[in-house]
Amino acid sequence: MDLPADDSEIEEIKRRKLAELQRRQMELARIQEERERELLEARRQQILRSALTPEARARLEAVKMIKPELVTAVEDQIIQLALSGRINSPLTEEQIKALLRAFQSERETRIIRR
C-alpha cells in the first residue's frame, strides 16, 4: 500500500483544480471589466451624439488623431455639461473649435506655470 504517493497525487489534483478555478475567475473578472468599459464607452458616445452636431463630432474625431488627450478632456467637459442639463441644443463645430482653443491655451498656461 503506497499511501504517501496517493496523498501526493490527491494533493496535486487539488492544486491543479484550484489553479484552474483561479484562472477561470481571473478570466471572468477580465471579461466583466471589458464589458463595463464597453458599456461606459457606449454611454459616452450616446451622450456625445446628443450633445454635438454631426460636424462637431467630425471635428473632434479629426483632432483626436493628433491630440487624443485634448479631445478626451473636451469630451469629458461636454459630458459633464450635458449630464448637468447645461447644454440645451447640440454644440456646433464653431463652438467645438472655441472649446478646443480654450482647453489648448489653458493646458499651455498650466505647463508654463509649473
pLDDT digit string, tens, across residues 11-45: 999 999 999 999 999 999 999 999 999 999 999 99
- Is pLDDT at 1 greater than 50 in this prediction? no
> pLDDT value at position 6?
82
Distance CA 103, CA 55 (A): 19
Residues 6+ apart with CB under 8 A from 95: 56
Lowest-confidence segment of 2-16, 31-45, 80-94, 95-109 by average pLDDT: 2-16
> pLDDT value at position 77?
96
Taken in order of first residue, the domains within the chain and their CATH numbers are 3-113 (1.10.8.140)
Q: Is this model's pTM higher than 0.75 or not?
A: no
